[in-house]
Structure 1
Amino acid sequence: MNEGSSPAFALYYESFVNTTEFSSLPLKPALLENIESLGYTRLTPIQAESLPPILEGRDVIAQAKTGSGKTAAFAIGLLSRLDLSSFRVQAMVICPTRELADQVCKEIRRLARFTPNIKVLALCGGVPFGPQAGSLEHGVHIVVGTPGRLQEHLRKRSLRLSHLKTLVLDEADRMLDMGFEEAVSEVISYAPTHRQTLLFSATYADPIREMSEKFQYKPVTVSSETCHHNDVIEQHFYQIEKGQRINALGYLLAYYQPESTVVFCNTKRDCSEIANALENYGFSVQSLHGDLEQKERDQVLVRFANKSCSMLVATDVAARGLDIKDLQAVINYQLPWDPEGYVHRIGRTGRAGKKGLALSLCTQQELTRVKAIEEYQNNPVKWDETAPFQMRQEHRFEPPMVTLWIADGRKDKVRPGDILGALTGDAGIDGNEVGKIDIFDNHAYVAIKRNHVDRALTCLRTGKIKGRSFNIRKPWG
């Protein structure tokens, strides 16, 4: 919980989070009966943290991953505020994908199943527009939708938000990753200023903070991550001779085989040299340092974030603001100068409740830095040994995705849904084969699973996006 809450709220919050039973919630009897009938008795950590301010009607920004119980948390909140006698849209949940929107709809309906006449409607693309408009005309309490289809209904005035009480942004970080920022902003522009806004995200990166500042009023900040312990990140140290670094790095990569890795060096020169060496050995690797132009930096981060490049060699300065979901490993090729830098580096893995791996190489001359890290963490480090290893090209590990470049972007009104539709339309590929979609002003990138990239190229080159043909290339991989 953030600071600045009223004393009465603070007392309520403290008494609430110290209890873990749903029966302690100030809920309508019918809703509580619904919850108990589903076997929900004890609150999950994110529910215990977020439900008190949600039920108070406050704005909330919550760091929570899928599977943490976040959907039930905001669903209980919006259900508790409904006026069932008014068949106007009183709650709206914006989701990044149709699949998530469908899951959210199902969960809300389950929680409301013993409460008569609650109308919940999914508004997503890929299905006819007309029946959705008809359902809205007959009256709906809650809508759950994707940004593009919500935009369409709002523009055509089939969806009206004048009576909206609660707005939920679910998996907000993923919506930003998929390029939906402008669409979400437009959707929210139709909502009343005086409303409750709940923002759920797996990360607290700067773009999420900016989104909160734009759309929320004095939000309470909560996180289920406060319940995790230091063992979320598995840390190993390896003492080596100075000339053994590159082979020791190869051993760690071959032994652990992480799908995504950031290798930290202390200087731009070391960064470029190590990236070039790894590339010569056949690894899929890019370097991130201060000499890169913004366009080059964008390309590097797009490919690393969408898993079409498996390794990033970076300096601390260049990695500022780096927030990559599902980063499996951080390797300190050289230890940083201070322990705070070490903690900051390894904190990029093990996020959103997932296990992380931090591996550090050090020479005899760097042992004083290790001692400082032990004192800073108030815990001894774990020492391991590397086996004899010689870097060779056969140790290459191909990344699971390949990035395709599309010639047009935001200024051409291209949206992620347009690209996804072109790929998954008639005779297209399955949506599960499509990864992250990034839209820039004049071009776009889409990640495709490696074994389906040729078919995806054919779909895009022979088909159309927004009724037009576009130049498509596979610039890497």
Structure 2
Amino acid sequence: MNFNEFELHEDVLNAVDSMNYQQATPIQEQAIPYILQGKDLLACAQTGTGKTAAYLIPILDKIATVPTGQIGALILVPTRELAQQIDQQIQGLGYFVGATSIAVYGGNKGPEWDQQKRALTQGADIIIATPGRLIAHLQLGYVSFGSIRHLVLDEADRMLDMGFLSDILKIMSFLPAKRQTLMFSATMPPKIGELAKRILQKPEEVRLAVSRPAERIDQQFYMTTDEQKLPLLAHLLTQVTNTSMVLFTSRKSTVEPIVRALKKLGLDARGISSDSDQADREVVLRDFKNRAFPVLVATDVLSRGIDIDNLSHVVNYDVPRDPEDYVHRIGRTARAESKGTAITFINEHDQKYVLKIERLFEKEVEKQSITQDLGLGEAPKFDPGKFRNSAPRNKGTSGARKSQAPSSKKRRPKQKKDEKSPLQS
């Protein structure tokens, strides 16, 4: 479907053309008409389907048609990186409209706070905000949201996972009751449905099936204990050059231990999580995109809403509990017709989550056991029923702490001092 068929304002069509948008994606084709009609919407679509433009284009159309000079739209997002990314997209799409926007998020210095305050008091067309920082402004009493016509909850499932429900409800108490509310979520767990019932009025619903991972992704699953994960990874990368890899871990407490262990193995790595200082996060992300170092260790704060292309590898240090999160993680690689490799480690307690991935894919995935051949000790057997009711370990960093001491009499040969590590070539 061509964007001309939506009967958009001429300035918005010029913006769409300048951004080189050719045809509307499925989520845009289904969502834009409902939003233009002023209806509330619950939309489920995974990252990379064009959902941001699906709500920005009709909101900008309303701003172009009926400009107010006041805050017209509020977009709530789970992370500052996503806030920045949406702000940049508004700058492109809103250029011909003359729309103004600002990203409001924490972790920055005094001048940024003052800039946010001015935008919130003097009025920007669109505010993109993380809940915590926005509440900090609201509590000081100088913010008026009486002119808000559109509220967007982007990555709503991630915000609920991060514990933002009470913050979202508190922010909504400052908004006018008469407004359009749009919820966009990558997954549709029961809690999303419950929130939708509380905040949406007679909503339309759009659900796109989760896309299967690209066929170009070489998906590799390895049975391993926590202690075997990192030395196994070092082996898998021995023949790899020009690597750009993100290693995902589900626990932010494991990021730095994994980084330290990787460096001991000769792999240049840096880490990022929601606990990282904002300035540090921006430097690490910039350097990684510029190929200043090859391995980025991250929590799921990076699996959605972050534009990192051309990854050669994605490593799941642990198996995501939600199979759709698995799709989001490995979807960071094999973009733009390139090829990529996704490596997933399966310990005793993550086996039940592999079954969920298999149900989503409607097929059994091949699970390799090679640790014993490498002198790293025997790998766990895949027997999810055996571990179904067993409690997982409390500490997820054992692999990082013990990566150089696998439980086997055999030892991997030591690397010579003048020999490059697998990822330094």
d(CA) in 1 for partners of 2:399, 2:166? 27
d(CA) in 2 for partners of 1:137, 1:103? 23
Change in 2 beyond 3 A, CA 1:194/1:359: same
Match of 1:47 in 2: 28
1:77-134 residue CA offsets vs partner (Å, 9 max, x unmatched)? 2112226542221100011111110110111121110123x22122111243223222
Alignment of 1:192-271 (within 5 A): 192-225=176-209
1:359 is the counterpart of 2:365: yes
d(CA) in 2 for partners of 1:105, 1:342? 35
d(CA) in 2 for partners of 1:84, 1:449? 57
d(CA) in 2 for partners of 1:193, 1:446? 45
SS at match of 1:51: helix
d(CA) in 2 for partners of 1:231, 1:109? 34
Alignment counterpart, residue 79 of structure 2, candidates 97, 102, 105: 97
d(CA) in 1 for partners of 2:156, 2:7? 28
1:355-406 residue CA offsets vs partner (Å, 9 max, x unmatched)? x973389xxxxxxxxxxxxxxxxxxxxxxx9999889863569xxxxxxxxx
Change in 2 beyond 3 A, CA 1:223/1:95: same
Match of 1:112 in 2: 94
Change in 2 beyond 3 A, CA 1:41/1:133: same
Larger radius of gyration between Structure 1 and Structure 2: 1
Match of 2:125 in 1: 141
Change in 2 beyond 3 A, CA 1:449/1:115: farther
Match of 1:123 in 2: 104
Moved over 6 A (4+): 229-236, 304-309, 327-331, 341-344, 385-392, 445-449
1:185-216 residue CA offsets vs partner (Å, 9 max, x unmatched)? 21122112221111111111122222212211
- Given the two structures, how large is their TM-score scaled by the length of structure 1? 0.49
Change in 2 beyond 3 A, CA 1:24/1:205: same
Bigger RCO of structures 1 and 2 (CA < 8 A, at least 6 apart): 2
Aligned length: 292
Give structure 2 stretches of 5+ with no counterpart: 237-246, 250-298, 304-314, 331-342, 381-394, 402-425
Match of 1:166 in 2: 150
1:332-358 residue CA offsets vs partner (Å, 9 max, x unmatched)? x9xxxxxxx9998446656xxxxx973
d(CA) in 2 for partners of 1:74, 1:349? 28
Match of 1:31 in 2: 12
SS at match of 1:49: helix
Asked whether the 8 Å contact 1:260–1:329 carries over to 2, the reply is no
1:180 is the counterpart of 2:164: yes
Asked whether the 8 Å contact 1:329–1:359 carries over to 2, the reply is no
Equivalent position amino acid for 2:32 in 1 = L
Asked whether the 8 Å contact 2:72–2:147 carries over to 1, the reply is yes
Alignment of 1:221-370 (within 5 A): 221-225=205-209, 326=329, 345-346=356-357, 358-359=364-365
Asked whether the 8 Å contact 1:171–1:200 carries over to 2, the reply is yes
SS at match of 2:209: helix
d(CA) in 2 for partners of 1:450, 1:223? 40
Change in 2 beyond 3 A, CA 1:40/1:214: same
CA RMSD in angstroms comes to: 5.0
Match of 2:53 in 1: 72
Asked whether the 8 Å contact 1:87–1:139 carries over to 2, the reply is yes
d(CA) in 2 for partners of 1:216, 1:72? 21
Change in 2 beyond 3 A, CA 1:59/1:359: same
1:44-83 residue CA offsets vs partner (Å, 9 max, x unmatched)? 1221122121222111122223322111111012112226
d(CA) in 2 for partners of 1:447, 1:44? 41
Equivalent position amino acid for 1:182 in 2 = S
> Which one has a larger percent helix, Structure 1 or Structure 2?
1
Equivalent position amino acid for 1:144 in 2 = I
SS at match of 2:69: coil
d(CA) in 2 for partners of 1:191, 1:224? 29
Asked whether the 8 Å contact 1:233–1:349 carries over to 2, the reply is no
Asked whether the 8 Å contact 1:119–1:140 carries over to 2, the reply is yes
Equivalent position amino acid for 1:93 in 2 = I
Alignment counterpart, residue 394 of structure 1, candidates 373, 377, 380: 377
SS at match of 1:193: coil
- Given the two structures, how large is their TM-score scaled by the length of structure 2? 0.55
1:274-307 residue CA offsets vs partner (Å, 9 max, x unmatched)? xxxxxxxxxxxxxxxxxxxxxxxxxxxxxx9999
d(CA) in 2 for partners of 1:160, 1:449? 50
Match of 1:88 in 2: 70
Equivalent position amino acid for 1:208 in 2 = I
Match of 2:44 in 1: 63
Asked whether the 8 Å contact 2:31–2:43 carries over to 1, the reply is yes
Asked whether the 8 Å contact 2:104–2:116 carries over to 1, the reply is yes
Q: CA deviation at 1:136?
A: 2.7
Change in 2 beyond 3 A, CA 1:388/1:155: closer
d(CA) in 1 for partners of 2:58, 2:46? 18
Change in 2 beyond 3 A, CA 1:446/1:54: farther
1:3-32 residue CA offsets vs partner (Å, 9 max, x unmatched)? xxxxxxxxxxxxxxxxx1111112111111
d(CA) in 1 for partners of 2:165, 2:199? 12
Equivalent position amino acid for 1:75 in 2 = L
Asked whether the 8 Å contact 1:63–1:224 carries over to 2, the reply is yes
Match of 1:403 in 2: none
Match of 1:281 in 2: none
